[in-house]
Amino acid sequence: MTNNSSLIINHSSHLVGEINIPGDKSITHRAIILGSISNGRTIITNSLLSEDCKRTINAFKMLGVEIEIQDKIVIVNGKGLNSLKLPSSTIDAGNSGTLARLISGILAAQEFSSVITGDESLVKRPMRRIIEPLEKAGAVISSENGQLPISFDRPLCKPIEFTSLIPSAQIKSCLILASLFIKGRSEIDESVKTRDHTERMLQYLDYPLSIDNTKIVIEGNTTVIAKNISVPSDISSAAFLIVASLIKNKSNISLRSIGVNPLRTGIIDVLIKMGADIKLVNLRSVCNEPIADIHVKSSKLKPIKLAGDIISRLIDELPILFIACACCDGVSVIEDIGELRHKESDRIKSMEEGLMNLGIDVKTTQNSIEITGGVFRGGIVNSYGDHRVAMSFIISGFVSQKPVTVTDTENINTSFPNFIDILKENNNEIYHV
């Protein structure tokens, strides 16, 4: 993609054939991070080299780790838990909340001081949720209003015991990573089970970590042994193509080697419940992560009512699910989504505004959205620099009566750099203005 900030989808074609989805962003982040603090050489294949993941590579290079990139392969030469060095300047996480929160667990355990910041969007996002449990374990941390930039001034000194009331894999992973550096047993519990890529990867690396339902127990100050890691293709990215295929007549696609971690497949379960023709075949496991091939055919979808634990299993896919709901006959109601207000944008507000601009009837509260299915008439939508909002409204152009213009789209590069190229390869007319 170029750096032009507005995209217009003027003509859409049905999607057919096999489509290659890039590597999983969450798993790529974690592979780079754990490779950087392991003993030995980690070769990461099918890496997602998006802007977010490049920020993670650059951050650990600043911390003294030798990392090289060869096409989609990332090679990390780790020298162990205690090998990180004082960075020469502030670490910039860019737009990546995953990097900012996960690396904070590591920085809070180092003997040296460091500072992390982010772009104008990231510095507005809540960080107190990770600062407070790290401080309870003895870390000395400075932050204004619980937001970036964060300064880590003295390391935590005792095992972590924490129960998270916010369903967030980033909080959990931050604390797991901090626990690796502290001698003794840390226990982290979560009220709602969230994506478990960090735990799965540590178990794959034979690290002493045990899981009892929602409780994770970590034995700290133990060696992380390097192994090669193959990254599944990203189900969050696949979701945009899946919904596009469902809502556009005569579509029929196959997506290969998609990660189908049960804590990430909420979007598949919900779409099937809505009447989607989706089949998962050739189920298998790679590096302790389940993967499958996914076949999708265009389908007539029914409205849905959602609330509760399912939301944590599709939190990143909610914007594109809203597009699917807008294509149904009837009213969909999705509750318990207040966490969307703390993403790259206030996603409830961004999606409400955009849907209404395109002719869809929407009502929201602080914690819910009600979408009445209708006709996309076309128009202009501001994505507010949010990659998932931008891609969702580009997909709405597949069924819009008139062109859809989406502004402020540069951040698509943070998660799905070849998204527009894939759509163009399938004869969709998309251009920059």
pLDDT per residue as tens digits for the range 390-406: 999 999 999 999 999 99
Q: Is the pLDDT of residue 318 over 70?
A: yes
What digits encode the pLDDT tens for the residues 261-311?
A: 999 999 999 999 999 999 999 999 999 999 999 999 999 999 999 999 999
Q: Alpha carbon 308 to chain centroid distance?
A: 20
- Judged against a pLDDT cut of 80, whether residue 56 lies above it is answered with yes
Average pLDDT over residues 308-334: 97
- CA angle 336/339/340 to nearest 5° reads 100
Burial 66-97 (b: 16+ CB within 10 A, else e): ebeeeeeebbbbbbebeebeebeeebbbbbbb
Distance CA 277, CA 366 (A): 33
Span(s) in the chain for CATH 3.65.10.10: 7-23+232-432, 25-230
26 touches 195 (CB < 8 A) = yes
Confidence of residue 433 (pLDDT cuts 50, 70, 90): confident
Q: Residue with structure tokens 């930039």?
A: 149
Assess contact for 318 and 268: CB atoms under 8 A: no
Question: What whole-number distance in Å separates Cα of residue 63 and Cα of residue 81?
Answer: 12
How do strand 252-259 and strand 289-297 relate by DSSP bridges? antiparallel
Burial-class residue 284 by CB neighbours within 10 Å (0-12, 13-18, 19+): exposed
Whether residue 133 has pLDDT greater than 70: yes
Mean pLDDT of the chain: 96
List the catalytic residues. Answer: 316
The C-alpha atoms of residue 245 and residue 318 are separated, in whole angstroms, by 17
pLDDT confidence bin for 3, thresholds 50/70/90: very low
Q: Where are the beta strands (DSSP E) in 176-269?
A: 184-190, 209-212, 215-220, 229-230, 252-259
Nearest CA to 337 among 369, 361, 313, 359?
Answer: 369
- Token pair 């932050």: residue: 143
CATH number of the structural domain 25-230: 3.65.10.10
Instruction: Estimate to the nearest angstrom the gap between the alpha carbon of 290 and the chain centroid.
Output: 17
CA-to-CA separations, 380 to 288, 397, 403, 416, in angstroms, rounded = 43, 11, 9, 22
Residue 195 is predicted with a pLDDT of 95
Contact between residue 52 and residue 98 where contact means Cβ atoms under 8 Å apart = yes
The pLDDT, as a whole number, for residue 1 is 35
Tokens of 37: 């603090």
- Mean pLDDT of the 363-381 span: 98
Contact 125, 95 (CB under 8 A): no
Give the separation between CA 361 and CA 306, rounded to whole angstroms: 18
When pLDDT is averaged across residues 25-40 and rounded to a whole number, the result is 98
**Residue 293 is which amino acid?**
D
Strand extents, DSSP E, 336-428? 361-364, 368-372, 379-382, 404-407
Report helix, strand or coil for 35.
helix
Closest CA to 363 of 308, 311, 326, 409: 326
pLDDT (mean) for 55-66: 98
Instruction: Kindly state the tokens that stand for 384.
Output: 């507010």
What is the mean predicted confidence (pLDDT) over 16-43? 98
State the residue for tokens 């029929």. Answer: 252
Residue 2 has pLDDT above 50, yes or no: no
Nearest to 255 by CA among 387, 426, 28, 52: 426
Distance between alpha carbon 115 and the CA centroid of its chain, in Å?
23
Band (427; pLDDT cuts 50, 70, 90): confident
CATH architecture for residues 7-23+232-432: Alpha-beta prism (3.65)
Strand order in the sheet with 229-230: 66-70, 73-79, 39-45, 229-230
| β-bridge pairing 404-407 and 114-117 | unpaired
Residue 186 pLDDT: 98
Q: Which candidate, 275, 350, 342, 297, places its Cα nearest to that of 319? A: 350
CA distance 46 to 69: 12
Q: What is the mean pLDDT of the segment spanning 73-85?
A: 97
Q: What is the pLDDT of residue 158?
A: 96
Residues of the chain with pLDDT > 70, as a percent, come to: 99
Q: Which helix (H) or strand (E) holds 170?
A: helix 169-179
CB burial of residue 203 (10 Å; 0-12, 13-18, 19+): middle
**What is the reported pLDDT for 107?**
98
Say how many C-beta atoms besides its own lie within 10 A of residue 11's C-beta: 12
Q: Give how far Cα 231 sits from Cα of 21, 33, 46, 124, 392, Å.
A: 11, 14, 5, 30, 24
